[in-house]
Structure 1
Amino acid sequence: MTCNKASLGCCCTCDKSCVGTLVMSRKRPSRHSEDQFALFLERIRDSLGDEDDAKFNEAVSSLIRQHQSQSLQGGGASNDDRAPADPLRREPLPERPAFEAIERAAMQTAGKRQALMALIGLLVFSWSNNESLLIYVLMLLLGTDEKAAAVVYSTLNTTRARLELVRRLTLLKVTDPAVRRSLDAIVDGFNDANRTRNEFLHAMYSVNERGEITHTQMMRFVEKGGRISFGDRQPIDEERINKLRQVQQELRTLNRTLWDFLPRLRAALVPADESPDGEADLRGK
């Protein structure tokens, strides 16, 4: 059988060329559907006689000519035939900030910006010092030395894990109800301060054209009302500034409470006759 050069655009004498051209004329077929359609045409051809085979080939060529004619009238490939747009090309990039202008304007707002940064710095400073005192709490609850407690502390690399271990060890080791309540209150104080800490330490900051820090946006997924969004965006207004000051004061109070509580915890865990003069010695034995 000879291919129709005008309709198929080929100069070979191959039955499969006709089949392949017809297959490719359909709209974005999958490889699986191409193979099935080609097999279907081959089975039809095999079932035909010489006269019918010629008629079949003419019908296939006619279909191909019609498709090519429709494509030319429609200005080429239809929207369905076109490859989908690349998301990287479709998604716009953010506009580059006017850094020079912002830096010039920021000189007039430096005082307000530095005050905010100082509060955030105090939050980091106070939090780190307070959390490190959990090493001594773990040392007493585990009945070990400071180095071993520090290994446990550093192995649990999240605040939540460290506080949960303290809570569970308290249930196992502390029998005095008053000491338990005091330790539970300390854990609650850490959890309360940790929420504010995460709002500022795990966020990116928005800056306006005057160089003022206006918003924070959390760098994590947030679920509210059954919906998931990326980044909880909050304004840095007077209310949040006051919240920062309040948390800073609470951390200061928590620090003093922890230092006062450590001897009480040791006394609740170690019999009086095993502690020098019945008093707590945080240096270990």
Structure 2
Amino acid sequence: MKGAAHQPSFDAFLLLVGRLNYAWTNTESLLIHLIAGLAEVDKETATVIFLTLNTTRARIDLVERLSKLDRVSADEREPVLALTGRIQRQSALRNRYNHCIYAFDPENGNLHTILMRIADRKDTLKIGQSTPLNDAAAEDIETAISELTAINHGIWQVIAQFGYPA
């Protein structure tokens, strides 16, 4: 088929998703150090808080709210908020590949995802948005992995700069 996007093998794609999950989990866990520093608690207490909050959104909300306390200077708040914003922007792609069914087109064998989410519109429902697993999708994941790696380094810089428990 001329002009069709190349499809990476399913195993290669799963490896990419695994790398995305590793980068995501590794980076999200660094929120423990931000919680510890901003809440002025030890790392053990921050870990209990982190694990008690069972969604990434709740953990990011906590970090953002702690950074907005009056006692936190703008010099400390701004890089924290910039980093949490960057993490949040990566969440849509991560969620797409973690909350889906991986499917094969029975006619041509093409790989795609089917999103396991209901989009509740004003007077309709959208169910099962499909995304092809092609080179463009693989490039998006590679870009996200690179961005998560950069965010990870940025968080470590904030931890060092403000003396948060490490």
Question: Which of residues 76, 79, 87 in structure 2 aligns to 1:190?
Answer: 87
1:168 aligns with 65
| Residue 147 of structure 2 corresponds to residue 237 of structure 1 | no
Question: Which of residues 2, 9, 14 in structure 2 aligns to 1:117?
Answer: 14
Per the normalisation by structure 1, the TM-score is 0.52
CA separation of 1:174 and 1:231: change in aligned 2, threshold 3 A = farther
CA drift of 1:232 comes to 2.0
Q: Show the 5 A alignment for 1:129-278.
A: 129-172=26-69, 175-209=72-106, 212=109, 214-224=111-121, 226-266=123-163
Gaps of 5+ in 1: 1-110, 267-279
In the alignment, the residues of structure 2 paired with residue 261 and residue 154 of structure 1 have an alpha-carbon distance, to the nearest angstrom, of: 21
CA separation of 1:244 and 1:139: change in aligned 2, threshold 3 A = same
Gaps of 5+ in 2: 1-7
Residue type matched to 1:131 in 2? E
- Number of corresponding residues: 160
Which deviates further from its counterpart, 133-142 or 203-212?
Answer: 203-212
Q: Secondary structure at the match of 1:152?
A: helix
Question: Which has more radius of gyration?
Answer: 1
Deviations 1:227-281 (A, max 9, x none): 3222222222322221111101101111111111112233xxxxxxxxxxxxx6x
CA drift of 1:184 comes to 1.0
1:90 aligns with none
Per the normalisation by structure 2, the TM-score is 0.86
Q: Secondary structure at the match of 1:181?
A: helix
CA separation of 1:174 and 1:114: change in aligned 2, threshold 3 A = farther
Which structure is richer in relative contact order (CA contacts within 8 A, separation 6 or more)? Answer: 2
In the alignment, the residues of structure 1 paired with residue 121 and residue 12 of structure 2 have an alpha-carbon distance, to the nearest angstrom, of: 32
Taking every aligned residue pair, what percent have the same amino acid on both sides?
Answer: 28
